Copies of this chain bind each other. A is one copy, B any other.
Amino acid sequence: MSSPPIAMDLRTSAAAVAGRVETAMCADLETTLARCDPLLIEVVHYSLFPGGKRIRPLLTVLSSRCCGRDDDDLYLLAMAFEYLHVATLVHDDVIDRASQRRGKATVVARFGLTAAILAGDWLHARSMHLIGRLAGPQGLAIFCAATLSMVNGEFVQLRLAGDAATREHQYFEVISQKTGNLIASTCALGALYAGADEGRVQALSAYGDLIGAAFQVVDDLLDFQGNPGSTGKKIGNDFVEGKMTLPLLHTLERADAADRRAIEELMAADRTDPASYRHLVALIERYDGFTAAAAAARNLIDQALAALAPFTRPGEEDPSVRLLRDLALYILARNK
């Protein structure tokens, strides 16, 4: 876990970047939504503010900075990733029929299906527009490929839902497609924006892919072990939805025949039954599934830190590289 002063530094820097990104967003919305329908304006603002930690824009900004560029347009580029992220959240909430996100009503709950689908499409298109303008054809290609891969990851996850024959490597493929590729592209485009050479673009892209995967592993662990008070999410939700996450897959691959059959029966029965969930947790604990998943996350973060090697210099460390390290450690330590 990161030491307090480092975390403080990360928190301060992240807040400063988020502030500049939000200023850029406000200016962009002011112009782009000028003369638009009042409801569209309201829905788009509602979806974007107040936001989360703006991690994706932060990654773009830090990646560009550690390759030597930091100017006003960088925050426009960074913001495009937040637009896409929010577009996917808005559509996800339609798909999941979710009523709450970040402590307030979801867009679909508040404004209805039509507004949610359309506002998601608006953010998606605006995001592509900005990326195309600021990151050039190569950047747009990376970004679009990551978006296509994200959609594919959702389909694969859908197909594997509740399927006890799922293997661990399939889980890692899904999280790379769903989360890793897009996080990798936020880093790669920051590096490209700064005119970095191929080696540095690749290094930051690998870093992004790995922290993205670690983020998802931790997220899936928190679904079992998080504190609903701080995560704002119901415990055991993934089990109810039949999501095959790492603690469970680790257990399935190692369980003896009887325990494996027990899990298969739990997956096939009514998954909303709290007793079933408690039984599943006990089985996962028997095979150290939670410990194994936590170790996998730590391993991914170790690899992510190693990927930053091209940026390590003898003597003083670049502050942006240090923040990328801290961010990786924060992902590992987060509990909400």
- Contact across chains for A159 and B39 when beta carbons are under 8 A apart: yes
- Contact across chains for A125 and B128 when beta carbons are under 8 A apart: yes
Set of chain B residues within 8 Å of A154, measured between Cβ atoms: 114, 118
- Contact across chains for B37 and A152 when beta carbons are under 8 A apart: yes
- Contact across chains for B141 and A133 when beta carbons are under 8 A apart: yes
- Contact across chains for A37 and B137 when beta carbons are under 8 A apart: no
- Contact across chains for B148 and A126 when beta carbons are under 8 A apart: yes
The complex is assembled from copies of this chain, and their number is 2
Chain A contact surface mostly: helix
- Given contact pairs A125-B151, A126-B144, A117 touches B94 in the complex (Cβ within 8 A): yes
Set of chain B residues within 8 Å of A121, measured between Cβ atoms: 88, 91, 120, 124, 147, 151
Q: Is A235 an interface residue (CB 8 A)?
A: no
Q: Which residue in chain B gives the minimum CB-CB distance to A154?
A: B118
Residue among A128, A133, A159 having the largest count of chain B Cβ atoms under 10 Å: A128
Q: Which residue in chain B gives the minimum CB-CB distance to A119?
A: B151
- Contact across chains for A118 and B40 when beta carbons are under 8 A apart: no
Q: List A residues 102-155 near B (Cβ within 8 Å).
A: 113-115, 117-122, 124-126, 128-129, 132-133, 137, 140-141, 144-145, 147-148, 151-152, 154-155
Render A135-179 as a binary contact track against B, CB cut-off 8 A, 1 for contact. Answer: 001001100110110011011101100000000000000000000
- Contact across chains for A140 and B148 when beta carbons are under 8 A apart: no
What's the minimum C-beta distance from A156 to chain B, rounded to whole angstroms?
5
Q: Is A258 an interface residue (CB 8 A)?
A: no
Residue of B125, B147, B152, B156 touching A147 (CB-CB under 8 A): B125
Q: Is A95 an interface residue (CB 8 A)?
A: yes
Residue of B94, B122, B145, B152 touching A148 (CB-CB under 8 A): B122
Q: Is A32 an interface residue (CB 8 A)?
A: yes
Q: Is A36 an interface residue (CB 8 A)?
A: yes
- Contact across chains for B118 and A129 when beta carbons are under 8 A apart: no
Q: Which residue in chain B gives the minimum CB-CB distance to A95?
A: B114
Q: Which residue in chain B gives the minimum CB-CB distance to A35?
A: B152
Set of chain B residues within 8 Å of A141, measured between Cβ atoms: 129, 132-133
Complex formed: what's the CA distance from A23 to B144 in Å? 22
- Contact across chains for A148 and B125 when beta carbons are under 8 A apart: yes
- Contact across chains for B151 and A118 when beta carbons are under 8 A apart: yes
- Contact across chains for B159 and A37 when beta carbons are under 8 A apart: yes
- Contact across chains for A113 and B95 when beta carbons are under 8 A apart: yes
- Contact across chains for B113 and A152 when beta carbons are under 8 A apart: no
Complex formed: what's the CA distance from A148 to B113 in Å? 18
What's the minimum C-beta distance from A145 to chain B, rounded to whole angstroms?
8
- Contact across chains for A117 and B117 when beta carbons are under 8 A apart: yes
Q: List A residues 15-39 near B (Cβ within 8 Å).
A: 32, 36-39
Set of chain B residues within 8 Å of A126, measured between Cβ atoms: 144, 148
Pairs across A and B, CB under 8 Å, 9 listed:
A91-B121, A94-B117, A117-B117, A118-B155, A119-B151, A125-B147, A125-B148, A129-B145, A140-B140
The 4 tightest CB contacts between A and B, nearest first, are A129-B144, A37-B155, A125-B147, A128-B128
